[in-house]
Amino acid sequence: MNAANADVLVAGAGIGGLTAALSLHAAGIGVRVIEPVQVLRPVGVGINLLPHAVRELTELGLGEQLAATGVATARMVHYDRHGNRIWGEPRGHALGYHWPQYSIHRGALQMILLDAVRERLGERAVVTGTAFVRCAETEGQLLRVILRDLARGREHSVRVRALIGADGLYSTVRARLHPGEGPPLWNGIRMWRGVAEWDPVLGGRTVAIAGSNAHAKLVVYPISGEAERRGRALLNWVAEVRFPVEHGGMSGAADWNRSGRLSDVLPYFAGWRIGDLDVPALFAATRRILEYPMVDREPLPRWGRGPVTLLGDAAHPMYPVGSNGGSQAVLDARVLARSLAVNDPDRVAGLRAYEEVRREATAELVLANRSMPADRLLQVVAERAPEGFERVEDVLTPEELSELDAAYRWTTGTDVAELNGRGSWGVG
Ligand SMILES: Cc1cc2nc3c(=O)[nH]c(=O)nc-3n(C[C@H](O)[C@H](O)[C@H](O)COP(=O)(O)OP(=O)(O)OC[C@H]3O[C@@H](n4cnc5c(N)ncnc54)[C@H](O)[C@@H]3O)c2cc1C
């Protein structure tokens, strides 16, 4: 199917692109989405949606589906590799937010968004099998965009008033706006990921983190409301191990679908037991393990130009610290729709207003995620108590404990009163 002319064209039907389509439609702005994948399937493993993003998706009318599909996270707890508790705090509703935090399968979330787009905007709103290639000339207020129909191998063009590059880590829109940027930047951490059905662990509804990025770290949380209703847990796990970065190279492609090997990850977690969770047994029970390098890109001094901008990972890929990748893409989408509506009919002014709100805020997060502020003290715990401990107060001084607390609060960006108190970003 050809992508016909539209007011706004969104390149990429990921979490950000689809949320942008729903938000623009809600604001009364015509929108089409193009996506190279021919048939979108629920790919990926778990992600976390922070209360900020859940608020936006709830205002888009998706609250009930999120509640039925994901798991409302009750707490986040950091353990040492033996399962001794170092630090923890409630999350979502339990922390006082008016909106929950959800742990959810990325693919399931994408399908919720896709179904909503097709239902509200029509079956033709998302044109699959079609990739953005480049922008051609601007004619008055219209930008001519060259697309490729991948099945036919043919290029065609459409005329739009604005183009949004929501085309992920390897964004072609970004590459056209910022040529010569090169590949993503790897920090030496390899991440293995997987999901496996298990008995509920650690009290259920817990995002559990063990170890540190100085060496090996594990993140585990349940992601399925359906499994929970059966008295089971679909556990999402991410195992991160740091390696030396040689010649700026990478440990394999940053491809979300790349398979990983159990034998590569298992040695680093031999004997790990976090409360009632036998970590090597969880890895071994995982049908498909995926591997991905921890990458980001330098924040850009500007995102877009004229009637073109970027959104989500295309604009600000970041390390998955603090559950921000998907959530920030959702926030971008909502601010974008609001900025275009407020500045209507001047699309260029709307795009610049969006960038004004979102570019610096997300750049700060990219840089903050690099610094991993809690890690130094977690490494101190591992060095002082290699065989574990009874009370963390016996391992860290009161000053170190409050430093750790501050580091966590900074990383997890707790701002309950601000979110609860501010007005809606919805328009229309
Ligand atoms: C297949 C897949 C699996 C993922 N799995 C995980 C996971 O398990 N855990 C995790 O934390 N994050 C995962 N992510 C990344 C996560 O979705 C993002 O970090 C976050 O949600 C921000 O979303 P986004 O919409 O900006 O980018 P993405 O979700 O990456 O979406 C970008 C979209 O743009 C499309 N696209 C690419 N090139 C073009 C082009 N030339 N023209 C038009 N469209 C284009 C892509 O096919 C994709 O659908 C995954 C991403 C993908 C694409």
Mutate to test the pocket of ligand 1, among 32, 37, 40, 47 (most ligand atoms within 8 A of CB): 47
The radius of gyration of the chain's CA atoms, rounded to the nearest angstrom, is 22
* Tokens representing residue 93 in the block: 């509703």
Query: Is the CATH number 2.70.170.10 carried by domain 8-45+106-182+298-370?
Result: no
Mean pLDDT (the chain, rounded): 93
* Tokens representing residue 367 in the block: 């840089």
- Determine the distance separating the centroid of ligand 1 and the alpha carbon of 167, expressed in angstroms: 7
Measured on CA atoms in the order 277, 283, 287, 291, is the torsion positive or negative?
positive
pLDDT score at 367? 92
Phi, psi of 357 (to 5 degrees): -80, -40
- Determine the distance separating the centroid of ligand 1 and the alpha carbon of 104, expressed in angstroms: 15
Mutate to test the pocket of ligand 1, among 15, 41, 303 (most ligand atoms within 8 A of CB): 15
pLDDT score at 1? 47
Within 212-303, where are the H helices?
225-229, 262-265, 279-284
Q: 77 - beta bridge partners? A: 88, 208
Q: Quick check: 192 pLDDT over 80? A: yes
* Angle separating helix axes 398-412 and 347-371, nearest 10 degrees: 150
Q: Which of 19-23, 145-149, 388-392 has the lowest mean pLDDT?
A: 388-392
Q: What is the mean pLDDT of residues 268-288?
A: 95
| DSSP assignment letter at 259 | B
User: Whose C-alpha lies nearest to ligand 1, atom 10?
Assistant: 47
User: Whose C-alpha lies nearest to ligand 1, atom 11?
Assistant: 47
Strands 142-149 and 290-296: unpaired
- Determine the distance separating the centroid of ligand 1 and the alpha carbon of 141, expressed in angstroms: 30
* Tokens representing residue 247 in the block: 């010649």
- Determine the distance separating the centroid of ligand 1 and the alpha carbon of 168, expressed in angstroms: 5
Q: Quick check: 281 pLDDT over 90? A: yes
**CB 142: neighbour CB atoms within 10 A?**
14
Give yes or no for a contact between 329 and 166, defined as CB atoms under 8 angstroms apart: yes
User: Whose C-alpha lies nearest to ligand 1, atom 30?
Assistant: 168
Ligand 1 pocket residues where CB is under 6 Å:
11-17, 34-37, 43-45, 47, 106, 131-132, 166-168, 172, 193, 256-257, 312-314, 320, 325-326, 329
Measured on CA atoms in the order 197, 199, 204, 206, is the torsion positive or negative?
negative
Atom of ligand 1 nearest to the CA of 133: 41
Strands 308-310 and 154-165: parallel
User: Whose C-alpha lies nearest to ligand 1, atom 51?
Assistant: 256
User: Whose C-alpha lies nearest to ligand 1, atom 21?
Assistant: 326
pLDDT score at 4? 64
Task: List, for residues 358-394, the tens digit of each pLDDT value.
Answer: 999 999 999 988 887 788 888 889 889 988 899 999 9
Residue 167's nearest CA partner among 332, 313, 325, 352 is: 313
User: Whose C-alpha lies nearest to ligand 1, atom 3?
Assistant: 44
Instruction: Give the angle subtended at the CA of 172 by the CAs of 311 and 183, to the nearest 5°.
Output: 95
Q: What distance in Å separates the CA atoms of residue 175 and residue 11, rounded to the nearest whole number?
A: 13
pLDDT score at 368? 87
* Tokens representing residue 120 in the block: 């509200």
Task: List, for residues 49-108, the tens digit of each pLDDT value.
Answer: 999 999 999 999 999 999 999 999 999 999 998 899 999 989 999 999 999 999 999 999
DSSP string over 166-227:
---TT-HHHHHHSTT--SPEEEEEEEEEEEEEE---TTSSEEEEEE-TTSEEEEEEE--HHH
- Determine the distance separating the centroid of ligand 1 and the alpha carbon of 325, expressed in angstroms: 10
Peptide bond into 345 cis (omega under 30): yes
- Determine the distance separating the centroid of ligand 1 and the alpha carbon of 39, expressed in angstroms: 14
Residues 6+ apart with CB under 8 A from 340: 8, 24, 27, 29, 162, 347, 350, 351, 354
- Determine the distance separating the centroid of ligand 1 and the alpha carbon of 327, expressed in angstroms: 13
* Tokens representing residue 346 in the block: 């001047």
* Tokens representing residue 289 in the block: 């393990």
Task: List, for residues 199-234, the tens digit of each pLDDT value.
Answer: 999 989 999 999 988 889 999 999 999 999 999 999
Q: Give CA 45 to chain center in angstroms.
A: 11
Q: Which residue has the higher pLDDT, 44 or 281?
A: 281
Give the helix/strand (H/E) hosting 128. Answer: strand 126-128
Give yes or no for a contact between 112 and 69, defined as CB atoms under 8 angstroms apart: yes
Q: What distance in Å separates the CA atoms of residue 15 and residue 324, rounded to the nearest whole number?
A: 12
